[in-house]
Amino acid sequence: MIIYTVQKGDSLYSIARRYGVSWQGIAQDNLLADPSALVVGQTLTILQPETTYTVRPGDTLYSIAQSLGVSVNQLFRNNIILGGTTDIRPGQILNVQLPSPTRGSMSVNGYAYPFIDRATLMRALPYLTYLTIFTYGIRPDGSLIEPEDGPLIDVARMYGVAPVMHLSTLTEQGRFSNALARQILNDATLRARVIDNVRQVLSRKPYVGVDVDFEYVGGENADAYAAFLRQMREALEPLGYQVWVALAPKVRGNQEGILYEGHDYAALGDIADRSLLMTYEWGYTYGPPLAVSPINQVRRVLDYGVSVISPEKIFLGVPNYGYDWTLPYVAGQSRARSLGNVEATELAWQQKAAISFDETAQAPTFRYYVRNGGSTEHEVWFEDARSVQSMLSLVSEYGLYGIGIWNIMRRFPQMWQVLNSEYSINKVLQ
């Protein structure tokens, strides 16, 4: 796969001719709504298949896969235009074999809310090992706030993707509560009730385990949190379930701040089967304009993380979104707008803005002006094929278990293309 950065004067036709592929194929692989709407600095993924197949009358995707000795999932992954569906038409050219992945294999976890658009979900599932459904909250009495997760569990398993239960201190008002975390972690009766309620959910729904995500725990509760996670694992491991934990992006053990102090990497990482390092949100809603996951900062977290947690237990957090800030940024007042990566590129086109790439952060960015009775400047940071490639390279470099994508609610075809090109994707369901 080639990652091409659009230059001034380029057209899809000229790019295709340069690489000996069809412009229609590039448009399909990048899900371009308007093939003529190219932005200077925009990335395009260009596939160069080793073998293809032209659909004939009477073919089905299953019969094609069987006759060619490949899996339907492989055809899904190599042909993003299928959208994870079996709909094909005579004359359609399918990619059968792409060059072998260059970086080995890994596991991929995607987070999704129950209300995810079904087409977006189906497009993502062929690239996932796990689907974690956000979230089971906890009430003060230890009962669980249960999401409408049944349909997602069913469709995940249809695609051979293992569903994972997500447990958090998210309240019914939709916010993480440090008071709720403190209450649960320091009350033996509540801890036991929460764990038993998790066990009951796992006994009646075909989840493979639980991902525990207590945020804003506070340093005074660090030991209690580790004890709670250990108690959770002791209850669930004999039943065959995994216990994961989500960890704030720390760069040292004694890092200050309510987001970090309650997460003892060494203790929690030792107890849990897997640990997600939430390596995103340097650029965030209320902060100054920054890349969401600047690679130099991500490396600092990984350097510390692998020093106290076995690398083969670690999921690297990968963002699937960006932010649009209105300038000037004013601390305590400014609020950035979240946007998808495809949306960001479309915004650059609409605003006639060229995209640049920050080599330090390894992330794309651009600025534009809105003129409405004045002139307001905006700054946008987001992800593209280059930034994804940079993040994914860390998995093989550090020997990690895989990645956890927060989240898969927005379409981002280039992420799937880069992932499919560089890694084989592990499957845990038979």
Single-letter amino acid, residue 5: T
CA dist 394 and 407 (Å) reads 19
Distance CA 421, CA 341 (A): 19
What three-state secondary structure class fits 322?
A: strand
DSSP of 34-47: STT---TT-EEEE-
Clarify whether 215 is annotated catalytic. Answer: yes
Are 138 and 169 within 8 A, CB to CB? yes
Nearest to 124 by CA among 138, 111, 134: 111
Pairing of strands 314-319, 402-406: parallel
Query: Which has the closest alpha carbon to 201: 265, 146, 244?
Result: 146
Residue 334, CB-side half-sphere exposure with 13 Å CA sphere: 20
Backbone phi, psi, residue 339, to 5°: -150, 160
Q: Are 406 and 280 in contact (CB under 8 A)?
A: yes
On whether the CB atoms of residues 67 and 42 are closer than 8 A, the answer is: no
Strand 105-112 to 130-138 pairing = parallel
For residue 415, give the 3-state DSSP assignment.
Answer: helix
Which residue out of 50, 148, 172, 215 is catalytically annotated? 215
Residues constituting the chain? 430
Supply the residues annotated as catalytic.
215
